[in-house]
Structure 1
Amino acid sequence: MPWLALLLFFGFALSQPAPSFQLEEVARNLGVPWSLKFAPDGRLFFTQRDRARIGVSALDLSSGRISTYEGEAAVRDEGEGGVMGLELDPGFARNNRLYICYSYWKEGVQNENNRRNRLSSFILSGSRLTDEKILLDDMLGWWNHNGCRVVWGPDNKLYVSMGDAGDAPSNVPGEFGYAAKAQSSRLLAGKIFRLNPDGSIPSDNPFFYQATGAARAIWTLGHRNPQGLAFQPGTGLLWSTEHGPNTRDELNIIRKGKNYGWPRCTGIQPFGTVLTVSADNITFNCTGGDLRESYQPAVREYAGGNEPTIAPSNLLFYTGNAFPQWKGSLFFVTLKTGRLYRLELKGEQIVKEDLLINNQYGRLRDLAVGPDGFIYLSTDQGQILRLRPGNL
C-alpha cells in the first residue's frame, strides 16, 4: 500500500525540544499487531494477538504486500491472551526459524484451570508455519497478565517474560495462587525465564540445582506483568518494563537470580519499608529475610503516589542512523496513555527523558528499528506507523 503521511510535528520534550520528526502510516486493519521484528531481507514480521490459530505475518515495506503464514496449533484468543511474543533466530536468513510465545487451552478444554501459555519454535516453509517444537510449556495463564515477550540474548539464549497470570489458581499442590504465584519457585508465572534455543535449560541458571523440571529455567522472579524486554548494546544489560497495579509501573534492570518483589514490594520501594497505596487499596510490606539479599527495586517508577498507571509495553535501544542524536537512547511505548518515551542514560542512571507521542494514536503496543533507521510502532487500533526525521 502507498505510504500515507499523517502528521508532521515537533516532539514535546520534558527537558528541551527533541528533533523534529514525521509520523507515517504504513499499514492498517491488522487487528492487534503485538510484536514487531525485522528480518535480514528488510521484511517486517509481526504477530496478531487476536488469532484463533498460530500464525505470523510479514510486511514488504517496498510494495505494502502482507504475507501470512499459519500453522496448526489452536490459540486461546481471549482478553490479553493470544499470539504474542515473536523473535527471529539469528540464522533466520538460512534456517527460517522463529520463536513465538502464545496462549492455549490445556488439552483443548476451555475452563479457568486450563489457561496456559507456551514458547515454541517454528519454521517458515512456503506459505506455512511448520515444525512446531515446544520449548517451554505449561506456563500459567489468565485472561490478563500473560507477559510473553521474547528476546534473543547476547549469550545466545532465549529470554521470555511471563506475567503472574492474574487470578489464576495454582497448579502445584501446596503453592498459593493469585498474585503470590510470582514469589513461588515452583510456579511458571510472574517470572523471566532463560533457556537454550533448543528448549534445554542452561546449567548456569540461578535456580538450576534448587528447582526441578521447567522451573530450572527461572532467571528472575517476583514480576507482575513484564511487557518489555531489551538488551542494551555494549553493556549486555537486560532492561524490562512492567505493569504496576494502579500505580508504580516499573522500568527494571533484570539481574540474574533477583527478586523484583511483587506482590510484596512495588516500584522503587526500598527493602524494609511498608507502603500503603490508597489507589490500589494495598499495603506493600517489603520486608522479610528471604528478600533481604535478593530484592531488586525498579530503576524508575511511573505514575507514583496515587496517580494512574501509564501501562508500559515494549522497549528498545536505538541503534539506527536516521536519528544520530538519539543513538543509544532507550525508547518505550505505553498502552493506557498511548505514549512514546525516549530516555538518555548515563551508566544505569536516567539523565534525560523526552515524551515524543502523547496519546495521538491510542494504545501503542510495540516498536522496532528498521534497516532504514526509522522507528516502527504498532497500535492496538491495528496500525503500523513509522517515525522518520521531519526534514526528509
Structure 2
Amino acid sequence: MWRWWIIVIIVCIGWTIVGHTAAAQSGGGMTLYLPLVSKAPPLPPADEAGRRLQVAPGFAIRIFAENLPQRPRFMAFGPDGWLYVSLMNSGQIARLPDRNSDGRADTIEIVASDLNLPHGLEWRDGWLYVAEGDRIERLRDGDGNGSLETRELITDNIPAPVGHSSRTLHFGPDGKLYVSAGSSCNYCVEDDPRRAAILRFNPDGSIPGDNPFATDLDPRRRPVWAWGLRNSVDFLWTPGGELWADHNGSDGLGDDLPPEEIVIPVQGGAWHGWPYCYTPGVGVVSGPEVQDTRIALPAGQTCDQAVPARFTAPAHSAPLGMTLGEGTLFPPAYRQSLYVAYHGSWNTTAGNIRDCKVERILLNEVGQPIAAEPFVTGFRAPGKPCGDAATYGRPADVIFGPEGAMYISDDKGLRIYRVVPVP
C-alpha cells in the first residue's frame, strides 16, 4: 500500500511542476520557483596554475591552453562557441576549441596570419572584426575549410602603431564601431588627433554623421569620438548604457603618480585630461582633475574642463582588458562586479611593486564602483616586479565564455586560464 501512495505523490508533484511551468511560460498563473539541478562546470585535475595561483574563495583556476606560439592578448568567443585569441606579435589569430567539453582546449589552430599587430577582436554577423596596428579588417571562413581566409578592409583611418601600438575595438549599443588608440609618447602634445583617443565609425568604416568632427577639414579628426585618453587599452558599456574605459597613466612622476584610471565615464565630444591633467587619489574619487606640471596647459584651458575618472588604482598597475560579471554562472555577489586584468609594474622601486593580477572592482546597487579586491594573484615571484624574468605570468585580458566561466589570457606565460566556481 505504501508503494502506491509514493507513486501518487510523485505523479502529483510532476503534474504540479508541469502545470506551473506552463502557466509561467504562457504569462498566466503563479510562477513556482524550484531548485535547479544542473551539471557542475567541468574542472580538470589540479595543474601548475591551480597549485601556484590564488583565486577568491569558492573558485578554482586551471590552464585552458598553454604553449601558445606567441603572446596571447585579447579574446572573443565565436559563433561556433570556440575561443579566439589574438597573437599580436606574430600577426596571427588562434582558435582554441574544446570539442569534448572537458574544460581544456583540444588544440591550437591558427586560423589567420599576416595581420599587422592584431589585438582587439569582436564577432558580428558571422565576421571577426580585428583591430590591427593601422587598420580595421574583418575576416570570415568563406569556403568552409576552418580558416578565416576571406578578408575585407573596413578602414585604415587609424594612426600608425608608434608608441602604444595596441588597438582595441568594440561595437556599441548604437551599432557603431568604437576603436581605442593610445598615445605615441609618455607625455606630449600629439600632432595626430586620432592618438590618445577613442574613435567611432559606422560598421562599414564610414564616418557617422553625429561624430563631433564629422565634417572637419582634416580627415584624421573625423572619426574622433573622445580624446585625452593616454592609453585606454579596453572599454565597455554598462547595462545602463554608460561607456567606461580604463587608462594607463604616464611614467616619470615616481611610484605613486599619476594613479591609473580604472573607470572613466567616457563622454562623446569631450576631453578626458591627458596630457595636461589626471584624476588624483586612489579608489573611489570625486572632484576635478589636477595638472601634470611637466606640461603647460593651453591658454584658456583648465583641468576643470576634463572628464575625471570615478575609480582609480595605484600608479603603474597597468590595467588592460576588462569585463563585467553580469549574466555568468558566478555567484550573484560576484556578478555585480567589474573584472580588470592588471599587467603590473616593471619600473617601480622595491617597496612599491604593483602586482600582476585580476582585480575585482565591486559595484553598488546602481552599478557604480565602490571598492576593489584581488580575484586572481600569485603570478610574480616574491619581491620581484611583474616585468622580471622570474614572473610566472601577466594577465592581459579577461572575458566570460558562453557557459559562464572566466577566461584570462597571459602574455608572459603564453597561457589561457579558466576560472569556475566550485562547491
TM over 0.5: yes
How far 1:209 moved relative to its partner?
3.1
- Provide the alpha-carbon RMSD of the alignment: 2.7
Residue 128 of structure 1: SS of its match in structure 2? coil
Residue 148 of structure 2: SS of its match in structure 1? strand
For residues 325-364 of structure 1, the aligned pairs below 5 Å read 325-336=333-344, 337-346=355-364, 347=366, 349-360=368-379, 361-364=392-395
Could you report, residue by residue, the CA deviation over 1:56-112 in whole angstroms, capped at 9, with x for unpaired residues?
A: 2211123413322125x453xxxxxx22111111x22xxxx1111113xxxxxxxxx
| Shift >6 Å, 4+ stretches | 8-12
Could you report, residue by residue, the CA deviation over 1:155-197 in whole angstroms, capped at 9, with x for unpaired residues?
A: 1111110001237xxxxxxxxxx7311xx5x532111011111
**Residue 371 (structure 1) aligned with residue 376 (structure 2):** no
Is the CA contact 1:250–1:302 (under 8 Å) kept in the aligned structure 2? yes
Alpha-carbon distance in structure 1 between the residues aligned to 2:303 and 2:330: 45
**Residue 289 (structure 1) aligned with residue 300 (structure 2):** yes
Amino acid aligned to 2:250: P
Is the CA contact 1:25–1:385 (under 8 Å) kept in the aligned structure 2? yes
Alpha-carbon distance in structure 1 between the residues aligned to 2:272 and 2:401: 32
- Alpha carbons of structure 1 residues 274 and 338: separation in structure 2 relative to 1, 3 Å: closer
How far 1:316 moved relative to its partner?
0.5
How far 1:32 moved relative to its partner?
1.1
Could you report, residue by residue, the CA deviation over 1:273-327 in whole angstroms, capped at 9, with x for unpaired residues?
A: 4455xxxxxx3656753456751112222215xxxx1111010011212332222
Is the CA contact 1:122–1:133 (under 8 Å) kept in the aligned structure 2? yes
Is the CA contact 2:54–2:378 (under 8 Å) kept in the aligned structure 1? no
For 1:312, the equivalent position in structure 2 comes to: 319
For 2:46, the equivalent position in structure 1 comes to: 5
How far 1:214 moved relative to its partner?
4.1
Percent identity for Structure 1 against Structure 2: 26
Is the CA contact 1:59–1:66 (under 8 Å) kept in the aligned structure 2? yes
Aligned counterpart in structure 2 of residue 135 of structure 1, from 154, 162, 166: 154
- Alpha carbons of structure 1 residues 249 and 288: separation in structure 2 relative to 1, 3 Å: farther
Alpha-carbon distance in structure 2 between the residues aligned to 1:262 and 1:118: 24
For residues 62-77 of structure 1, the aligned pairs below 5 Å read 62-63=99-100, 64-71=106-113, 73=114, 75=116
How far 1:261 moved relative to its partner?
1.4
Q: How many residues align?
A: 334
Q: Which has the larger displacement, 267-276 or 136-145?
A: 267-276
For 1:243, the equivalent position in structure 2 comes to: 248
- Alpha carbons of structure 1 residues 214 and 127: separation in structure 2 relative to 1, 3 Å: farther
Alpha-carbon distance in structure 2 between the residues aligned to 1:198 and 1:140: 18
Greater strand share, structure number = 1
Aligned counterpart in structure 2 of residue 323 of structure 1, from 313, 331, 346: 331
TM-score (norm 1): 0.77
For 1:148, the equivalent position in structure 2 comes to: 167
Is the CA contact 1:338–1:357 (under 8 Å) kept in the aligned structure 2? no
Alpha-carbon distance in structure 2 between the residues aligned to 1:312 and 1:340: 9
How far 1:28 moved relative to its partner?
0.5
TM-score (norm 2): 0.72
Could you report, residue by residue, the CA deviation over 1:233-290 in whole angstroms, capped at 9, with x for unpaired residues?
A: 2x111111111113421121211111111110123486584455xxxxxx36567534
Q: Which has the larger displacement, 132-141 or 158-167?
A: 132-141
For 2:129, the equivalent position in structure 1 comes to: 99
Bigger radius of gyration, 1 or 2?
2
Is the CA contact 1:100–1:119 (under 8 Å) kept in the aligned structure 2? yes
Could you report, residue by residue, the CA deviation over 1:104-158 in whole angstroms, capped at 9, with x for unpaired residues?
A: xxxxxxxxxxxxx211122223343334332232533445312411111111111
Amino acid aligned to 1:88: W
**Residue 60 (structure 1) aligned with residue 67 (structure 2):** no
For residues 70-89 of structure 1, the aligned pairs below 5 Å read 70-71=112-113, 73=114, 75=116, 82-89=117-124
Is the CA contact 1:102–1:118 (under 8 Å) kept in the aligned structure 2? yes
Amino acid aligned to 1:180: V
**Residue 48 (structure 1) aligned with residue 87 (structure 2):** yes
Is the CA contact 1:238–1:254 (under 8 Å) kept in the aligned structure 2? yes
Aligned counterpart in structure 1 of residue 200 of structure 2, from 190, 194, 204: 194
